Chains A and B, each alone.
Chain A
């Protein structure tokens, strides 16, 4: 690849960044959805009565077992069959977010289970109800323990956002294909640029999570990598 190619790539960088912004929006949407649903699912799996737990287990089994692109199609085309014409962006957040929730539930479930039973006992003995004991005692500990696993999930779903083009969300991969369609010779350099952008974003994201981890770190509660 000769150097002059890069001067051809340079003018396309803003367009790629505009695409990347869409990936970031997808990421924020899906990971927050995944976080909330994931924590609740994990709580149900660990603390709810067995039949409810089985339902939650089936939920994670489904969303972990079905390929992302199939989920995207199911949500985008499937929901409109039921008269819910969600936008491609929203369908992508929903499909990828719920999928992520299933993986996040696994991380949190492990963390919940690793909190010694005595913590719950002590909270209950103080007069805290079950839910409040979870919120004030179990959850803050479990979330700290989950951060390391969670940063893996972050890197993974960041890359998943590039699949959203499958249902027509114009994100960075699509912007790349626009450029490629006009200029076949830029195919490789454009994808190298996209790769670099993702590497930087992953690095920055993990750096932020690492900072949060350090800030929240408590002696005796170090998560394992």
Chain B
């Protein structure tokens, strides 16, 4: 009787630890920026940033809730206490660091300059007087143009989204677009033969995750430890291989096949191996 009672008690406690014992943090991301984060055709949230956050949560023993949030609202939301972690390809800048705290950089992001295929423009020709160059509002691309190219006589044209900028580029209304290298490569793949990369600007720019100022919930140490573990295990490189290169459709079907290994079995390594295995020809 007593033994059964203790066993029941322990079982209840264990279940309680699993369900309630883990703290839950809200992760904010603007989930429309493949391959870092996007929504699959079936409505699932996936992408490099999001899988990294999921894996870190498993390794560090906390729960996360992903919440799709407009990019411009993520920092205000974290300041207002409406979210705990920002994982949305945030470039580390001094201005942002004044109001929130960044993790150590997890990604080097240089800026590609995309032009119309066959336009014959190279980097120097795009960055010359009279050129109209587009960028997504509020991104490093637009800050780069503003700071480095506008003084050279370039006119900055800002867009709400990257695809809108591409439409204008195709229509001949602008001469080039400055955007992160990976999304740019993806766009070139999708608009095969219509646009090409004229060159890459080394901005020395890096991405970080972000948390509230002074990290009151002590999340940064856990994020850092989590990233380090992922790199040690080899998960990190496998995720890069899976997410940067294959078509989004292929990633989505591989992800669907493998995601339970991460979410149910809670095994990041086997998950990443599954993904890359699915995606290898």
User: Direct contact between A and B in the complex (CB less than 8 angstroms)?
Assistant: yes
Q: Is B70 an interface residue (CB 8 A)?
A: yes
Can you list, as one digit per residue, whether each of A59-88 has a CB less than 8 Å from chain B (1) or not (0)?
A: 000000000000001001100110001000
Instruction: Write out the residue numbers on chain A whose beta carbons fall within 8 Å of the beta carbon of B163.
Output: 180, 184, 187
Bound Cα distance A20, B164 (Å): 22
Complex contact B81–A80 (CB within 8 A): yes
| A167: B residues at CB distance < 8 A | 70, 73
Which of A11, A15, A177, A180 lies in contact with B43, CB distance below 8 A? A15
* A6 contact set on B, CB distance < 8 A: none
Q: How many A-B residue pairs have CB under 8 A?
A: 69
A168–B31 touching, CB < 8 Å: no
Contact of A73 among B34, B38, B76, B190 (CB under 8 A): B76
A4 contacts the other chain (CB 8 A): no
Number of interface residues of B (CB under 8 A): 30
Residues in A with CB closer than 8 Å to B249 are 182
Interface of B (DSSP majority class): mixed
CA of A196 to CA of B19, assembled, Å:
45
Check: B1 CB closer than 8 A to any chain A CB: no
State the Cβ distance, B32 to closest chain A Cβ, in Å: 4
Chain B: minimal CB distance from A160 (Å): 16
**With A166-B70, A181-B33, A181-B38 known to touch, is A80 a contact of B191 (CB < 8 Å)?**
no
Residues of A within 8 A of B31 (CB): 178, 181
Q: Give the interface centre of A76, A81, A178 by most chain B CB atoms within 10 Å.
A: A178
Shortest CB-to-CB span from B35 to chain A, Å, is 10
Complex CA gap A12/B77 in Å reads 30
Chain B residues closer than 8 Å to A177, beta-carbon distance = 32, 161
B68 near A185 with CB under 8 A, answer: no
Q: Are B80 and A181 in contact (CB under 8 A)?
A: no
A183-B39 contact in complex given A77-B77, A167-B73, C-beta closer than 8 Å = no
- Judged by a CB distance under 8 angstroms, whether B67 is at the interface is yes
Contact A182–B164 (Cβ < 8 Å) = no
In the complex, how many residues of chain A place their beta carbon closer than 8 angstroms to a beta carbon of chain B?
A: 25
Contact of A80 among B80, B166, B190 (CB under 8 A): B80
Q: Per-position contact with A for B149-160: 1 when CB-CB < 8 Å, else 0?
A: 000000000000
14 additional A-B residue pairs with CB within 8 Å, beyond A77-B77, A178-B31, A184-B187: A77-B76, A80-B81, A80-B82, A165-B70, A168-B67, A168-B69, A177-B161, A181-B32, A181-B34, A182-B41, A182-B249, A183-B248, A185-B191, A187-B161
Which B residues contact A (CB, under 8 angstroms)? 31-34, 38-41, 43, 67-70, 73, 76-77, 80-82, 161-164, 166-167, 187, 190-191, 248-249
Question: What are 19 A-B contacts with C-beta separation under 8 Å?
Answer: A73-B73, A77-B80, A80-B80, A85-B81, A167-B73, A170-B68, A174-B32, A174-B68, A178-B31, A178-B38, A180-B163, A181-B39, A182-B34, A182-B249, A183-B248, A184-B163, A184-B166, A184-B187, A184-B191
